A and B are shown apart, each in its own frame.
Chain A
Amino acid sequence: MNVTRYSYLSFLLLFALMVAPGLVRAQDAPSEQVLAGEKLYKSNCASCHKLNAKLIGPALEGVESRWAEQADHDGISGREWLKRWIKNWQDPVNAGNPYAVSMQNYDASAMTQFPALQDADLENILAYIAYGPIGSTGPTGPTGPLETAENPYTAYMLWGLLILLVVVALVLLRVSNLLNRLVLEKAGEEIPAPVPFWKNKKFRAALTLLIVIYIGNATVTGAIDLGRQQGYMPEQPIKFSHELHAGINKINCQYCHSSAAESKHSNIPSTNVCMNCHKGIKGDDPKNGKYGKLEISKIYAAIGFNPFSGQYFEDYANQEKSYIDSIFTVWLSDSKVKATDKDVEAVLAQVNKPIEWTRIHNLPDHVYFNHSQHVTAGGIECQTCHGPVETMEELYQFSPLSMGWCINCHRETEVKFNQNPYYETFQVYHERMKEGEMKNVTVEKIGGLECQKCHY
């Protein structure tokens, strides 16, 4: 009975495995023409046109039939007019094609002209557009569950082992006690009355010492930890992943935090910096995952970008809030996103308001720190202090930012003395290095430990 059931199950499984790939590949394999068209499309069209959504220009899905139906003019078919439009859009407009005339002001910026495209190229591009997107080729997000740096089970196992050892020690103590008594009994000597262990003076002394050490240690570490925030990971208004932006997509830290090189402060990017990319990346692609669309919508709500039209709202501060709310509610009603009422509320709460990020790295006010000094003059990598930000799904404070930590780094770090005109004024050191008296100059030697450098 069991055997037949298992063979039945395994047959089903095998069948599923054989059929599944066939089910996935419903589309015919792309022809040579389509592949050539894809290449041309990506290098010429894709920066302004998506197949299935508006980008700068309109969605190109069905563009052939639209022109074929509406653009017949002067005895020439709509399809031919379309090809002339792609090469130089002004050509059909000047010829008075009514459909071309109606499309010429679709966007404020005019379409680029492509006089170099040959007729065969145009046919290939149209074939690709008719075929549709060829299966996605690259991963865009974290593919598997992220491995945590520390396995929590290791800690449990260690604790378990410790408890086991204590139990074994107690049992052995008991056994040796028992044996002692047996020896005394056999020798006929008097057996002393058993003293309960909590009345044992040695035990009491040891326990008191332990408690004093424990409380003392807790007091000292607690006092040192006052005002320190290592590991601080506050919840942010937007689920922004540094891992996705700086790690997977390799965006330079200073692309967003551009003032780190030029000013005391490193800036939090304003929303227009987000929009440099998110004007095109709206998160409505399924590969953007669960949060993409929701979180990106918060930027749109803050800055006043209409995701449907791809344009900024005019006079956003004075728009009726109910009108804006209705647009974002429809935008998020997409079944793929599965936004709860609470999620939508969070987006609507951001309408016309600055995004209030929570500051993580917070040096006390009585400490002076200058980013440009470290980034531009010192040439220090961001990761030296901020840790592996490019692997952090959620950002936290990596370094203790304690005074000991600063001082230690100033003692150990060699100044990049010769590559930087900033240090030209230290003439004596330059001479000594030239004469071989000094091998290197640490931050300490140029005054990096002076109190007034940071406290004044």
Chain B
Amino acid sequence: MKTNNKLKDNHLVDMNIHQFVKYSLVGALLLALASCGSDNRTPGRTFVPDMAYSRAYETYTKNPTFGSDSLAKVDSFEARKPVTGTIARGILPEQLVEDEKVLASYLYKSYSENTDSSYNAATNNLKNPFKPEKDVLDRGKYIYTIHCLVCHGEKGMGDGSIVQTEAYPPVPSYADRLPTISEGQMFHSITYGKNLMGSYSYVLSAEDRWKVIYYIQQIAKTGPFAAGVSAAAPADTTVTNN
């Protein structure tokens, strides 16, 4: 206070310390207001909620009709599972198929079970309907890149990225395994899963499964792509790429 009075006597100070504190506080308050609403854990406000949020139930929203007490132990998803035995639109071939072995693959899950016996029977029961043409292989490569590459690796050596980071146990290489496995067994494995591998029938249609099988046979140089590769040579010497 003493210095303050002294300064005031000199008529040189326009503002005393209390006023300075007061104005600083107001300034700080304004700054604080400016930084409001930065909570990123909440979605914030909406102008017309009726138009922003769907009144109709969406795929992942809860539907109170399901999951009520009367239907205990039923989850409350709006999206329901199809009735057992439902055949999805587009799952059957567009043209009439004469070959029983081809037709068998389209509805494979409806009559086969995930057992060793149906795995072995698949060799004689199933047949790849596609010819190894470019668009079949392109589609196969696209699927392989998304769904298989991460474990089996670019060349099918079992060196995918999650194997390399040691997050996942090592995966057998195609060159070792495929010479002993028929295309029907490959189809069974993709449909039901095999050992640690899971089922991929939830995402790959029967046609996609056959297309990716062609692509796998191409990179492993077995099946229709073994031409030019000596069949008598041991499997590990036929694949030279790393």
Contact = CB atoms under 8 A, between A and B. Distances in A.
A258 B203 contact: yes
A409 interface: no
Contacts of B46: 226-227, 364
Given A110-B116, A197-B14, A265-B59, A232 B43 contact: yes
B181 to A, nearest CB: 10
Contacts, number: 156
A139 B154 CA distance: 21
A15 B115 CA distance: 61
A252 B172 contact: no
Report whether over half of chain A's contact residues are helix, strand or loop; otherwise say mixed: loop
B47 interface: yes
Given A47-B170, A276-B197, A365-B53, A226 B44 contact: yes
Contacts of A229: 43-44
Q: Among B41, B164, B196, which residue has the most Cβ atoms of chain A within 10 A?
A: B196
B136 interface: no
A173 to B, nearest CB: 10
Interface in B5-45: 11-12, 14-15, 19, 23, 30, 33-34, 37, 40-45
A139 B164 CA distance: 10
B193 to A, nearest CB: 8
Nearest to A136: B166
Given A43-B170, A272-B199, A233 B41 contact: yes
Given A197-B15, A214-B30, A233-B40, A366 B60 contact: no
B132 to A, nearest CB: 21
A218 interface: yes
A140 B195 contact: no
Contacts of A272: 198-199, 202
Q: Among A46, A177, A195, which residue has the most Cβ atoms of chain B within 10 A?
A: A46
Interface stretch (B103-111, B142-150, B223-231): B142-150
Contacts of A223: 47
B115 A280 contact: no
A277 B12 contact: no
B162 interface: yes
Contacts of A43: 158, 170, 172-173, 176
Contact of A48 (B30, B41, B116, B195): B195
B77 A255 contact: no
Given A56-B195, A174-B12, A251-B162, A317 B167 contact: no
Interface of A: 42-44, 46-48, 50, 55-56, 108-110, 112, 136-140, 174, 177-178, 181, 191, 194-198, 214, 218, 222-223, 225-229, 231-235, 248-252, 254-255, 258, 265, 268, 270, 272-273, 275-277, 279-281, 287, 317-318, 352-354, 357, 359, 362, 364-366, 396
Given A109-B194, A249-B165, 5 more contacts: A108-B116, A196-B15, A222-B37, A228-B44, A265-B59
